[in-house]
Structure 1
Amino acid sequence: MMEIESIALKGNKVLQSYFEDQQFIHTFFDYENNETSYKERLKELKMRSFQREKLSATIRSFMEPFGISEQAEVHLTEMKENGVVVIGGQQAGILTGPLYSVHKAITVILLAKQKRKELGVPVIPVFWVAGEDHDLAEINHVYTELNGKAIKQQYEEKFVLKWMASDAEYDQQQMTTYLQEVFKKFGETEYTKDLLQDVLFAAQQEKTFTQFFVRLMNGFFQEEGLLFIDSAYKTLRQMESPYFRQMIEGAAAISSSIVQKEEEYCNFGFSQPLYAEEAAANLFYVHETGRVLLSIKDGKFVNEQIGFRKTEKEMLEIAQNEPWLLSNNVATRPIMQDLIFPVLSFVGGPGEIAYWALLKEAFHHFDIKMPIITPRMSITLITSKATQALSDVSLTVEDVLQGRVAEERDRFIETLKNERFDKMVQKMEKDLEEQYKILTSEVSDGLLPIVEKNLDYHKKQFEFLRNKAEDELLRKHETALRKYQLLDGQLYVDGSLQERIYTPYSFMNTYGPDLIKNLLQLPFEMNGKHQIVYL
């Protein structure tokens, strides 16, 4: 039976300000995250028009290859009528990428259920896959754990061009071999064979990173009816055509508003999330060499690296006739999302909330308000081994997540040291130095360098002796010390939360394929606190 607790983790100034600082919220966002705001946002959405029939049909056509559940069918019907959405998104990582992708989906689902009940209207959970992202180095690996250390397992196939994740096709045989190796590193359990079989089937059914990601995620959340859409899906791009036109016509004004907002944001004491530039067009062009970022120069949309140069009129024609050749950047994607979907609330991580804070006036340029922002839940899973280790070394989860393990480990080692031995070695070293002082006063200048070199050799031997004694000490207490390493390696990996490192499959391999379904049944609170789940 899983147990759950919440702790307030220090460290993220943006999240802290979002939950506590009214001036910060009203400066950078249109709504507070409270019950009244949800009612106001619902009224705003009712005043706006959306391409509901097209949107429902587009999601349906995208999801059909992966399977549409009974609950998803209900949600697709509601989308055509008066449904509103809770939406969040992520890049398409291998084996779903790090745990936070799943945590984001769980937050979207639970918030949609909660608001459906409170508001008495259909609230639909949607996951927006950032398939247009082209930084494949961010998604082409997973981590496994070995003796308390996170080991990077990289998919080695090279992609020379800047292909979007939705266009980059992997070699199925190479992916199969890679996944088999990853599961070997997880270790054999009663669940390994079936999990691996499901994953290999999904990899063989699909060709791109995005498709592989969606098939796995859809498998996790089918019963909940979570809807998926790929930002690079061609049919969606066609729906976006009129909004791309608005973004092209308003490119300079949008860019200027973001630059000004970022200055304001920095005046609050935060670092720059985007390093926004006045010359940014905030759009990509999908060129034969890959996805390239556009700037505005002399009134034209340009990318000098590939010799791309178009007038506003030519760009508007592309938006009208070939919108799939255009793609949003990090600044315009939230706006496009809000123009396409009736977004009640957007679920984002700390990094996303930081750059959304720059977009208030950019949203207003389109005569729309920003949706309510809900920080995604941050969760750490505590295995039975970690629970035992915490007890054995008398540390709390909070101690570990605040980076105190190394300090406690060093303190433990200090208690083990043989002080008598250390003092004897120290005295011997000091006595020897005294003897060498006497010796140097008796020798000629010619012999002095040899004497000094001889002393230096003895000092190194003393240091060697100390190191060997410490090695022996560590070997003798290896079992106890490994518990400190396990806690860091599982819960706070190289200074990062577990959810940013490990795939859910490493935990499902130990606790079974229903792990995520079971997480959805827990009484989580979306209160900005870090959630601890004891498995």
Structure 2
Amino acid sequence: MNFTAEWISYDSTNAFSALAIDYLHQHTTLQPFYKYNPGLGGIGRAIEERKTFNTSRKNAVAALKTQYQGIDVCEKVTFNIEKLADTSTFTVCTAHQPNLFTGYLYFIYKIVHAIKLADELNAAYPQYHFVPVYYMGSEDNDLEELNHIYLNGDKLTWETNQTGAVGRMHTKGLDAFIHRISGELSVLEHGQELVDLLKSCYCQSSSVQEGTLKFVNSLFENYGLLVLIADNAALKKEMIKVFEDDLLQHTPAAIVKKTAAELSKHYHAQVNPRDINLFYMKDGIRERIIKNGDQFEINNTNTRFSSNEILNELHSYPERFSPNVVLRGLFQETILPNVAFIGGGSEIAYWLELKEMFAHYKVPYPVLIQRNSFLIVEQKMTRLMEKLQLSAEDIFKDEALLLNNIIKARSTLQLTLEKETGQLAAFYNHIRLLTNQVDITLTEHVNALETKAEKALKNLEKKMLRAEKNKYAALTAQLRKLKSGLFPNNTLQERVENILPYYARYGKSFIDMLYEHAPTFDKKFGVLREA
């Protein structure tokens, strides 16, 4: 396996929001909404702030040790868990829900980025130790978003009637799902190894979050990645004061609404906080908590609490209270000694709304680093790009525009009438001079004739190009094959495809290749072409 990297600007992909692009460029309009620049200097300052915060490292270490019980882990993972107890150890964190079999490729890219950054920080700051962490958002209850993968263009869905937090769901039925995809995967070089791995990780686990932990650990353990499931009573207990404030005073909502209003003057606000930013989780439900008069109602249920009752519930069973997107980041940064957060453009967007809330609760705000993005161009597609003489930037352009450019470059005919259009303009300028000498009011009539003639020339140019396209039917089909292969569902590959077919072809060396090419702070979009 031999991949080479080409780097293009994010702007040229036309696939990212204005906010994401402006954050990459550190635009001045965004500077009030984050604390540290995304570079070594910013992380150095974040370390100094983090030192002053009393992170409950014992709880994090205890939670990790409990989670990893019964799982064969390598020495590097064990070492990193133990090192978290040391006040000179810090984390580099990324977060994502437990999508089925990791879901989309960008899930993998986020984790690789966190690992690469932690390694670079270990080299840059030898007096400290940095640990990469994948924080699993296992409490997410959006099953329709998490229960499927795309494989060879087909959307495959795990059908289950379970409700509530997806991470808590049992894995019944996944054995049949794995059997369904094994035929496509097992014929590839590492396919049977992958199928066996999926079975051992998911079919021998009691929950989706346990299966995800095992699978992600098997992919990244050699890099020392830690997987943290924050659905834990001891960890939630650290947030009780904040949760109380959210329930009774609605302080987070007031702060974030103000920041969101400021941000929305320039960009679309990613998060609109509710008065209460907590869900209630119990017995297969994860539903919003709503204040109605002096009662707290659990949405879509008959469960009601008085103020005293819900506070008693919170103190007795903190694991039953689940933060939404407004409070999840604060929870993450409270329980981990974190200095940098790796996230996608939409994640960065909502984190920018949270800075003032972090300041209010005196929790260190991390350096925000936009995750890496890649386009994987396998050997067949690389050959096709070369045949069509397309560059890395070219392939992101509109298909019709690309086709026109290719045909114009290859055609022996003059398919553009630029010269003739110029001659036409000169001709009508001459006519205008003549008519003005006779009757100046004839100018309007001459202008109309010129417009009509220009339109006729443009129509002729289109017909010439269309006729030439018909002669290039095979080329057109090749371009469409390239575009549909690299941009499934007309979007970025990383937002659709899953790691399974790549692992089945290349094994773990695919992850090693991503690590080799992954930048940390240099923000360019990577096109990885197989030779």
How many angstroms apart in 2 are the aligned matches of 1:518 and 1:99? 14
Q: CA deviation at 1:289?
A: 5.2
SS of the residue aligned with 1:81? coil
How many angstroms apart in 1 are the aligned matches of 2:291 and 2:95? 28
Name 1:528's counterpart in structure 2.
523
- Aligned positions, number: 468
SS of the residue aligned with 1:232? coil
Which string of whole-angstrom CA distances, capped at 9 and with x for unpartnered residues, describes residues 8-51 of structure 1? 02243112221334533432112222333222211111111011
Q: CA deviation at 1:513?
A: 3.4
Q: CA deviation at 1:525?
A: 4.3
Q: CA deviation at 1:400?
A: 2.3
How many angstroms apart in 2 are the aligned matches of 1:144 and 1:130? 24
Name 2:479's counterpart in structure 1.
484
Q: CA deviation at 1:154?
A: 1.5
Q: CA deviation at 1:201?
A: 2.3
Q: CA deviation at 1:503?
A: 0.9
Paired amino acid for 1:184:
G
Paired amino acid for 1:30:
K
Name 1:77's counterpart in structure 2.
82
How many angstroms apart in 1 are the aligned matches of 2:300 and 2:282? 11
Name 1:12's counterpart in structure 2.
17
Which of 268, 271, 280 is residue 268 of structure 2 equivalent to? 271
Change over 3 Å in CA distance of 1:248–1:92 after alignment to 2: same
1:405 is aligned to 2:404: no
Change over 3 Å in CA distance of 1:70–1:289 after alignment to 2: closer
How many angstroms apart in 1 are the aligned matches of 2:307 and 2:187? 58
Change over 3 Å in CA distance of 1:400–1:208 after alignment to 2: farther
Matches within 5 A, 1:507-518: 507-518=502-513
Change over 3 Å in CA distance of 1:334–1:132 after alignment to 2: same
Q: CA deviation at 1:367?
A: 1.5
Q: CA deviation at 1:55?
A: 1.3
Name 2:289's counterpart in structure 1.
294
Give the fraction of aligned pairs with identical amino acids, expressed as a percent: 20
How many angstroms apart in 2 are the aligned matches of 1:483 and 1:262? 46
The two structures have a TM-score, normalised by structure 2, of: 0.81
Q: CA deviation at 1:411?
A: 7.0
How many angstroms apart in 2 are the aligned matches of 1:413 and 1:31? 48
Matches within 5 A, 1:60-459: 60-82=65-87, 83-120=89-126, 121-145=128-152, 150-159=153-162, 161=163, 163-171=164-172, 174-186=173-185, 188-249=187-248, 251-268=249-266, 270-277=267-274, 280-288=275-283, 290-298=285-293, 300-402=295-397, 404-409=398-403
Which of 13, 23, 29 is residue 28 of structure 2 equivalent to? 23
Q: For the Cα contact (< 8 Å) 2:340–2:368, is it kept in 1?
A: yes
Q: CA deviation at 1:523?
A: 5.6
Which string of whole-angstrom CA distances, capped at 9 and with x for unpartnered residues, describes residues 286-343 of structure 1? 1445100123343653335324443443332222110011001011000011111111
SS of the residue aligned with 1:489? helix
Q: CA deviation at 1:478?
A: 7.3
Q: State the Cα RMSD in Å.
A: 2.7
Which string of whole-angstrom CA distances, capped at 9 and with x for unpartnered residues, describes residues 72-114 of structure 1? 1221121101211111111111221111111011011111111
How many angstroms apart in 1 are the aligned matches of 2:41 and 2:521? 16
How many angstroms apart in 2 are the aligned matches of 1:32 and 1:187? 45
Which string of whole-angstrom CA distances, capped at 9 and with x for unpartnered residues, describes residues 116-141 of structure 1? 22123111111101100011111111
Which string of whole-angstrom CA distances, capped at 9 and with x for unpartnered residues, describes residues 148-195 of structure 1? xx2211222333x3x211221132xx3222223224345722222222
Q: For the Cα contact (< 8 Å) 1:96–1:213, is it kept in 2?
A: yes
Change over 3 Å in CA distance of 1:335–1:102 after alignment to 2: same
Q: For the Cα contact (< 8 Å) 1:41–1:372, is it kept in 2?
A: yes
SS of the residue aligned with 2:165? coil
Change over 3 Å in CA distance of 1:478–1:57 after alignment to 2: farther
SS of the residue aligned with 1:332? helix
Of stretches 150-159 and 517-526 in structure 1, the one that deviates more from structure 2 is: 517-526
How many angstroms apart in 2 are the aligned matches of 1:115 and 1:4? 23
Paired amino acid for 2:47:
L
SS of the residue aligned with 2:35? coil
How many angstroms apart in 1 are the aligned matches of 2:236 and 2:484? 42
Change over 3 Å in CA distance of 1:520–1:289 after alignment to 2: closer
SS of the residue aligned with 1:295? strand
Paired amino acid for 1:97:
G
Paired amino acid for 2:387:
D
Which string of whole-angstrom CA distances, capped at 9 and with x for unpartnered residues, describes residues 502-530 of structure 1? 11111122223321123223363432211
Q: For the Cα contact (< 8 Å) 2:94–2:114, is it kept in 1?
A: yes
1:53 is aligned to 2:58: yes
Which string of whole-angstrom CA distances, capped at 9 and with x for unpartnered residues, describes residues 475-504 of structure 1? x97764443233223322223211111111
The two structures have a TM-score, normalised by structure 1, of: 0.81
Paired amino acid for 2:114:
V
How many angstroms apart in 2 are the aligned matches of 1:144 and 1:371? 36
Q: For the Cα contact (< 8 Å) 1:244–1:323, is it kept in 2?
A: no
SS of the residue aligned with 1:305? coil
How many angstroms apart in 1 are the aligned matches of 2:132 and 2:159? 34
SS of the residue aligned with 2:203? helix
Q: For the Cα contact (< 8 Å) 1:9–1:398, is it kept in 2?
A: no
Paired amino acid for 1:4:
A
SS of the residue aligned with 1:64? coil
Q: CA deviation at 1:371?
A: 0.9
Of stretches 39-48 and 199-208 in structure 1, the one that deviates more from structure 2 is: 199-208
How many angstroms apart in 2 are the aligned matches of 1:25 and 1:33? 13
Name 1:460's counterpart in structure 2.
none
- List gaps (5 residues or longer) in structure 2: 414-465
How many angstroms apart in 2 are the aligned matches of 1:521 and 1:2? 10
SS of the residue aligned with 2:169? coil
